[in-house]
A and B are shown apart, each in its own frame.
Chain A
Amino acid sequence: MFKRPIILLFTLILFSSNASAPALYSVSSGSITFSSDAPLELVRASSNQLKGIFDAEKKQFAFSVNINSFKGFNSQLQQEHFNENYLESNKFPRASFEGKIIEDVDLKKNGYYNIRAKGNLTVHGVTQERIIKCELIIKNNIVSVKSNFTVLLADHNITIPKVVHEKLASEIKVEVKADLIDK
């Protein structure tokens, strides 16, 4: 079965000081934004501390972000609730997505690619297998990734109290933008 590649990949980086290592890309800059569009309130927050690696040969990837690093809430109280009550970031400090790309992509060729990533999305400690569609723009060895997908709070055991039902949507839209460069 599918082993935790994140450990695998980090070990690879450790030993990737050798030359002619397989093409390993990592995030040079990246942001992840989520928005909750509820009838009474629109909540948005972003983090630009997205970390990630991609092994072009094996088509495997791993991305993660610290929950604490999300900024841009409507109020300080909201950010506190987000971290302490809903995502419980003290218990589950990171959200991650790791897996393998379904299509075959030649990252050496410049171009625009529509690919799908099949992997495990872990949020709030709960892992869900997901297929996520991404757009890749490859130019001069920089891989720009753009992806939009939905996260269902129920999928990850995130409960919102009835009182705030009109202020938080049960489906959260997530947008990821990242540039990866060859290490």
Chain B
Amino acid sequence: MTGICIALAICCVAISQSLAQELGSKSFKLFYDNEPFKINCLYKNTEGYIYAGTTDGLYSFDGIGFKKNNFSKPGIKDTVTAIFQDNSKQLWAGFKSGRLAKKTNGLLEYFEMEEGNPKAAITSFVQDKQNNIWFASNGEGIYYFANKHLYLINAENGLSDLHVRTLALTANGDVLAATDQGINICRLVNGKAQVKVIGPKNGLPDYYVTSIVAAGNNSFWIGMQEKGFCLYNHSTGIITIPPAMQKWSYGQVNDLLVSQKSLWIATDEYGLLKQNGMDAPVDVLNAATGIQNKINNLLQDNEGNIWMSTNTELIAITGNKLKLLPVYPPEIFETIHATLCDYQNNIWICSNAGLIKYSFVDGHYVEKKYSFPALNSKTDIIGLYQDLNHNIWIGTMGKGILVLNPETGQSRSLKENPLLQNASILSITGRGNTVCAGGLEGVAMIFNITEKNKTITEKYSFTNYNDIENVGNNYIYNVYKDSRGRIWFGTDGKGITVLENGKLTTYNKTNGLKDDHIYTFTEDKDGNIWFNTEGAGIYRFDGKSFKNYTTTDGISDLKITALKTGPLGNIIMVNKKGLDILNTKTGTISYITGKQGIADVSTDMGSVAQDTAGNIVITTHKGIVIYAPVENTVYQPRTIIENVQLFLTDVDKNVSGNYRYDQNSFQFNFTGLYYSTPDEVHYQYKLDGLDTAWVQTRDRTVTFPKLQPGTYKFQVRSSLNENFDVADEATYEFVIEKPVWKRFWFIALSLLVLLALFYWYIKRREKQVKKVQQLQQEKIQFEFQVLRNQVNPHFLFNSFNTLISFIEEDPAMAVDYVEKLSSFFRNIVNYRDQDVISLEEEIGILKTYFYLQQKRHGQNLTLNISISEEQKKLIFIPPLTLQLLIENAIKHNAVSKETPLEIKIYLENNDMLVIKNNINPKVSREPGTGTGLQNIVKRYNLLSNEDVSVLNDGINFTVILPVLNKID
């Protein structure tokens, strides 16, 4: 026996399970406030937000629910039939009534045109290369704005039909219009519209065109009513009809969607169809999507999911992103340890020490089994690899390596190295003309494949590296050849050894690796080597340093089955729940899990494969799942502030706001747009100006009541995990002004005013105190004067002289005189402390004094007082005032028989007390200080507002004192 066995190939009948199934589909019933609505159109704006135009108005859809976009005027209900966002980010809505509306600051407002509104439903918008907005109507033709006017293209301009379903813009600026009578090509030349019609004579299979979508390269897919779809090249004018259209039996095409190399077709009666290339057949996806008949619109979100609207639901499927091939019955899942996708994209799995190949032929999978007598039924096949000769290498536990020629069915066990006899292989990989095998007990082999090895009987040349230190007798989990020809060995506990140009280098814990149990390797598009460890996550090695990614970066499960580089360059980590996808540029991680329909993924390293396009093939309980990421899609949520509300009213969230001190209660509603798994989004927000710490939340709203005046910046960001390092952020800045009374200038002014008031008050008090002091002083001075006058030797001298003349003549009178004299001095003592005394009392003093004087001067001196008794009681006067005035009168005037002196005291007008005497000039004048009268004037100044008047007309000397009624 030369060791060749012929594998017994058993052909099986085609499996009835035919096509790929749609995973992870979800549907949303079209209800708002318990009222159903129907979607007429779907639109995605530049931020990736999905809008639905419905019979109940314009709705936004965030992946969780519908939110109605209201008009600024309440109570308007209108059916939306078209939605558009122009180049300046303005959102437009077209209505069934023919009207247009613009959305500003979250509210819709009808757009009125001088030319009047169309009266037919608006079906589609487009913006041409001159930034003119065009919109099509279902019954009036095509309108467009230019030069501040609205223009209409209708039959007069050559439009073949006024019922236009949709518009599309071509590379050279022409506008294509789908009508009931063919495709119309519209072009503005010198401001005038020129129309050219494309119909059956140009190769268009059907007049009735329902949809036009861009296919790239100035080509467009045309959907029709009866004849399916075709491809129209606008540059050449050539119409290409796919072969599958000869058997078209699916009725009217409602909408088309291009996603990478697939065309998705929404029909009016047969649900969703798909075609993977011009010459491919058309697949019906009814069973997969569960939709039996009418699909109205198709839309692809920014993550690559496909959305479709029926009359009652909005449904999402993962589209091309995830495909389920239920090729094997679920029962054998547990026995599958190795999976391979060969060069013809056939699926190979191992089962019961044999292999099964599934080929896709004529619309279904055909099964072919291979068995190997060399293996007993207990042998586990753990790895499969197809080399460049298309032979399949099979790694087993305990039976070494077998090579199979899938065409002939021949196979042999490799005996090139005696070690292989009963070796247990842990992995088989390869690149180019090399196949690498790693295993237990010193299997670390590199096989060189040559042309001769096309026949498996030819021996393979190989090298075994089991004598290298750190590689040696250890378990070799993986041997990997990278694009530069380096060989990497991943060991169980001795880290990594790399063979480069004959030189060996080892990396382990001493180089910073946290874990030196290394499982699988992969290389990214930039030449970095990635590997996963048993428990420390994955590492990226750029040749110089290691970068670690673990759960803190968002890895959902550190038990990673295998590491692969996806077709778009991302690092894919397969775990038992699904996939973690690491974006090498941003470092962010997104997930494909049970929510998208994957369940129970095999944890065998060999069960993960890649197809010819590089898509990841994994083995699950339900069947083979292929992850084929869509180009130009996002992997992270997009953070959007939905609206900012001040006391429940929306404010303009696009400009920073200025508010008064009492406008201080704000609510922020935000979303991290992620249509694949909207419930898995984590948020962080922060209000700079209130708190500098980020707050974690799963809610999509936050309220800040009663904010203090200040400058604020609200920031929110979203992520699929707890890692927010490169999360998309949205902000809103605003300022709350201080109330007037807290502003600097107001406070400063107030303080100044207060100070001024205080100052003025103090000054007033001072003045008052001073006034009182002055009064006191005057009084003292006056007393002093009086006292001086009274102790005046002259007065005493004269008084005593008078007294002497009485003593002998009239002793009784002398006694009387002395009594009066003493009484007068007693009065001075009694009244000198008072500021004012009653006139009654003063006249009493006066009379006493006058008696003394009259004794001296006799009848030549008269005093006439004409004031009533009541008035004497009511009027007040500083004490000794009258006395001093009379004293003055006597002092300064001659008193004789020839020149008598008469003094009159009376009231004038009830407010003036007059003391008047006739003037008798003296020959020799007694010296007087003059201060007595001055003193009286000063005292009256302090006691009254009225002044004392002194009149001297040569004949009479008059002093007028203001009447004091109350005590001051």
Interface residues of A (CB under 8 A from B): 1-2, 100, 102-103, 114, 116, 118, 128-133, 149-150, 152, 155
- Chain B's nearest CB lies how many Å from the CB of A35? 15
Within 8 A of A (CB), among B117-153: 119, 140, 147-152
Closest 9 CB pairs of A and B: A133-B116, A131-B115, A116-B116, A2-B156, A118-B152, A131-B150, A131-B152, A133-B115, A129-B151
Check if A118 sits within 8 Å of B156, measured CB to CB: yes
The contact of A150 among B114, B116, B147, B154, by CB within 8 Å, is B114
The contact of A102 among B148, B152, B192, by CB within 8 Å, is B152
Residue in chain B with minimal CB distance to A171: B148
> Could you say which of B114, B147, B158 has the most chain A C-beta atoms within 10 Å of its C-beta?
B114
Known: A100-B156, A118-B156. A130 touches B119 (CB 8 A): no
Known: A102-B140, A130-B149, A152-B148. A118 touches B114 (CB 8 A): no
In Å, the complex CA distance between A128 and B115 comes to 14
Residue in chain A with minimal CB distance to B148: A152
Residue in chain B with minimal CB distance to A148: B114
Check if B116 sits within 8 Å of A114, measured CB to CB: yes
Apart from A1-B156, A129-B151, list 4 A-B contacts with CB within 8 A.
A100-B156, A114-B116, A130-B149, A150-B114
Question: Main secondary structure on chain A at its contact with chain B?
Answer: strand
Q: List 20 A-B contacts (CB under 8 A).
A: A1-B156, A1-B157, A2-B156, A2-B157, A102-B154, A114-B116, A116-B115, A118-B154, A128-B149, A129-B151, A129-B192, A130-B115, A131-B115, A131-B116, A131-B149, A132-B115, A149-B114, A150-B114, A152-B148, A155-B149
In Å, the complex CA distance between A129 and B194 comes to 14
In Å, the complex CA distance between A103 and B141 comes to 12
Residues of A within 8 A of B116 (CB): 114, 116, 131, 133
In Å, the complex CA distance between A59 and B156 comes to 13
Residues of B within 8 A of A129 (CB): 151, 192
In Å, the complex CA distance between A152 and B147 comes to 10
In Å, the complex CA distance between A1 and B157 comes to 6
- Chain A's nearest CB lies how many Å from the CB of B664? 43
- Chain A's nearest CB lies how many Å from the CB of B164? 14
- Chain B's nearest CB lies how many Å from the CB of A128? 8
Contact with A along B29-53 (1 / 0, CB 8 A): 0000000000000000000000000
In Å, the complex CA distance between A169 and B119 comes to 32
Check if B151 sits within 8 Å of A131, measured CB to CB: yes
Residue in chain A with minimal CB distance to B140: A102
- Chain A's nearest CB lies how many Å from the CB of B452? 76
Question: Main secondary structure on chain B at its contact with chain A?
Answer: loop
- Chain B's nearest CB lies how many Å from the CB of A70? 22
Residues of A within 8 A of B156 (CB): 1-2, 100, 118
In Å, the complex CA distance between A114 and B97 comes to 14
- Chain A's nearest CB lies how many Å from the CB of B197? 14
Residues of B within 8 A of A155 (CB): 147, 149
- Chain B's nearest CB lies how many Å from the CB of A137? 16
In Å, the complex CA distance between A155 and B151 comes to 14
In Å, the complex CA distance between A30 and B148 comes to 28
- Chain A's nearest CB lies how many Å from the CB of B539? 68
In Å, the complex CA distance between A2 and B157 comes to 8
Residues of A within 8 A of B119 (CB): 103
- Chain B's nearest CB lies how many Å from the CB of A176? 14
Contact with A along B351-369 (1 / 0, CB 8 A): 0000000000000000000
- Chain A's nearest CB lies how many Å from the CB of B147? 7
- Chain B's nearest CB lies how many Å from the CB of A115? 8
Residues of A within 8 A of B148 (CB): 152
Residues of B within 8 A of A130 (CB): 115, 149
Residues of B within 8 A of A100 (CB): 156
Residues of A within 8 A of B151 (CB): 129, 131
Within 8 A of A (CB), among B470-520: none
Residue in chain B with minimal CB distance to A104: B119
In Å, the complex CA distance between A114 and B140 comes to 15
- Chain B's nearest CB lies how many Å from the CB of A55? 15
- Chain A's nearest CB lies how many Å from the CB of B169? 22
- Chain A's nearest CB lies how many Å from the CB of B186? 14
Residue in chain B with minimal CB distance to A116: B116
Residues of A within 8 A of B154 (CB): 102, 118
Contact with A along B614-628 (1 / 0, CB 8 A): 000000000000000
Residues of A within 8 A of B150 (CB): 131
In Å, the complex CA distance between A106 and B148 comes to 32
- Chain A's nearest CB lies how many Å from the CB of B142? 12
In Å, the complex CA distance between A43 and B375 comes to 105
Residues of B within 8 A of A1 (CB): 156-158
- Chain B's nearest CB lies how many Å from the CB of A101? 11
Residues of A within 8 A of B152 (CB): 102, 118, 131
Residues of A within 8 A of B149 (CB): 128, 130-131, 155
Residues of B within 8 A of A150 (CB): 114
In Å, the complex CA distance between A45 and B149 comes to 24
Within 8 A of A (CB), among B138-197: 140, 147-152, 154, 156-158, 192
- Chain B's nearest CB lies how many Å from the CB of A158? 15
Residues of B within 8 A of A103 (CB): 119
In Å, the complex CA distance between A151 and B929 comes to 104
- Chain B's nearest CB lies how many Å from the CB of A83? 26
Residue in chain A with minimal CB distance to B155: A100
Residues of B within 8 A of A133 (CB): 114-116
- Chain B's nearest CB lies how many Å from the CB of A119? 9
- Chain B's nearest CB lies how many Å from the CB of A180? 20
Contact with A along B191-214 (1 / 0, CB 8 A): 010000000000000000000000
Contact with A along B71-114 (1 / 0, CB 8 A): 00000000000000000000000000000000000000000001
- Chain A's nearest CB lies how many Å from the CB of B99? 13
Residues of B within 8 A of A131 (CB): 115-116, 149-152
In Å, the complex CA distance between A2 and B156 comes to 6
In Å, the complex CA distance between A84 and B157 comes to 35
Residues of A within 8 A of B158 (CB): 1
Residues of B within 8 A of A116 (CB): 115-116
Residue in chain A with minimal CB distance to B115: A131
In Å, the complex CA distance between A103 and B162 comes to 12
Residue in chain A with minimal CB distance to B151: A129
Residues of B within 8 A of A114 (CB): 116
- Chain A's nearest CB lies how many Å from the CB of B117? 9
- Chain A's nearest CB lies how many Å from the CB of B205? 30
- Chain A's nearest CB lies how many Å from the CB of B157? 8
Residue in chain B with minimal CB distance to A128: B149
In Å, the complex CA distance between A147 and B62 comes to 45
- Chain A's nearest CB lies how many Å from the CB of B113? 8
Within 8 A of A (CB), among B256-310: none
In Å, the complex CA distance between A155 and B157 comes to 21
- Chain B's nearest CB lies how many Å from the CB of A121? 10
Residue in chain B with minimal CB distance to A114: B116
In Å, the complex CA distance between A130 and B114 comes to 11
Residue in chain B with minimal CB distance to A119: B156
Residues of B within 8 A of A102 (CB): 140, 152, 154
Residue in chain B with minimal CB distance to A132: B115
Residue in chain B with minimal CB distance to A154: B147
Contact with A along B868-911 (1 / 0, CB 8 A): 00000000000000000000000000000000000000000000
In Å, the complex CA distance between A148 and B152 comes to 19
Residue in chain A with minimal CB distance to B147: A155
